Structure 1
């Protein structure tokens, strides 16, 4: 079911073989995008829809020499001053890299492939067959703080994609009202400035954290016209939609990358619901 939803433009977040709030949200969005009336319990209809949309939910993948070579980092420190000393906020293992490439939870990838040596080129593994990415240009984005979901619409107002999201927190709420996309940066570095953003640990100086999928904003930064706010990736895809952020809109890296290709400067981003929503009336 998660693979089918992903194929239909309704991201379930990490594909992990489990039901939960992200799957429920994605199923509702899938039905809106496709016009279907699919139920999570209807195995026959799910299989039929899989067959029509690209076949089996899983496919075989052969690990390459490039996959095994990385380069990988030994570990990612928690402290921002230590992060700033790394060359790159890269993946820590083959399994982390492959899990992200195939939109999967790393532990689920390992569970599907027990006793497999992921570091050996030529090894055949089972991965999610998530199909093609959404390609319809997006004209308007709605970030729903209550649903913890981002909706992307085309110029005609049709929903083309939906993503589970972590949107601000009660301490550091996201903006309210309507903003616009100002620019898109792929593989960005991250400037930590405690006087503008938030304070991490004992770090009171400005730090530049190198780019990479395990950086604070993941592998994509979609900047908004409101300074320091944006839509971005994450180093922890399994936590999307379930935790809080420092005011920004956080998606899985692969969802943020997909959305980055669909937007352009000037696309509107409307924040609805949640903390600071009372400002909406004044705006």
Structure 2
């Protein structure tokens, strides 16, 4: 993991590692672990192909941060706040009627041509985000449709502390 992040062309001040096997996201500042959060990656496992509903592996960066002033639980459609707040479900088997994106969006861009950048494997064109979810009770186990889901409080904390351009390595 450190080797991949250290191989970046520029010095890495801030990096996130999403570990699919442990369903955790780790935040590093200048090589030091400063945060750890439970997440939910894809219910269908890992894969980079468009339409797979899988979480893409590999090196990415936070390309855009969306929703800085949104209310906690705000539902986004097409990366725009709807004005509607989600009902937050805490039960491990509770499912929302829709796969809503809530609170904040960190839109990822793949950095590895042919792996997660370009063609039918492009993470940005697949709209792969780190985002909040109304299904908080499902955090900690695979449940998404490809994105990396977090609790609404955690995604707000992460959003506030992460800069655009931060590296994100999604690993198994």
- Matched residue count: 120
Please tell me whether Structure 1 or Structure 2 has the larger radius of gyration of its CA atoms.
1
Deviations 1:89-125 (A, max 9, x none): xxxxxxxxxxxxxxxxxxxxxxxxxxxxxxxxxxxxx
| Structure 2 Cα separation of the partners of residues 237 and 220 of structure 1 | 14
Deviations 1:195-240 (A, max 9, x none): xxxxxxxxxxxxx872554181111111111320110001122221
2:77 maps to what in 1?
190
Residues 264 and 213 of structure 1, relative CA distance in 2, 3 Å threshold: farther
2:59 pairs, out of 167, 178, 187, with 178
> Quick check: which one's helix share is greater?
1
What SS does structure 1 have at the residue aligned with 2:155? helix
Cα offset for 1:242?
2.9
Structure with higher RCO (Cα < 8 A, 6+ apart): 2
Gaps of 5+ in 2: 1-12, 45-51, 87-98, 110-122
* Runs ≥4 residues deviating over 6 A: none
Alignment root-mean-square deviation, CA: 2.2
2:35 maps to what in 1?
161
Gaps of 5+ in 1: 1-137, 193-207, 274-283
What SS does structure 2 have at the residue aligned with 1:255? helix
Structure-1-length-normalised TM-score: 0.40
Cα offset for 1:183?
1.3
2:140 maps to what in 1?
241
What SS does structure 2 have at the residue aligned with 1:168? coil
Structure-2-length-normalised TM-score: 0.63
2:129 pairs, out of 200, 222, 230, with 230
> Quick check: which one's strand share is greater?
2
Deviations 1:164-202 (A, max 9, x none): 00011326211111000011112362139xxxxxxxxxx
| Structure 1 Cα separation of the partners of residues 149 and 128 of structure 2 | 11
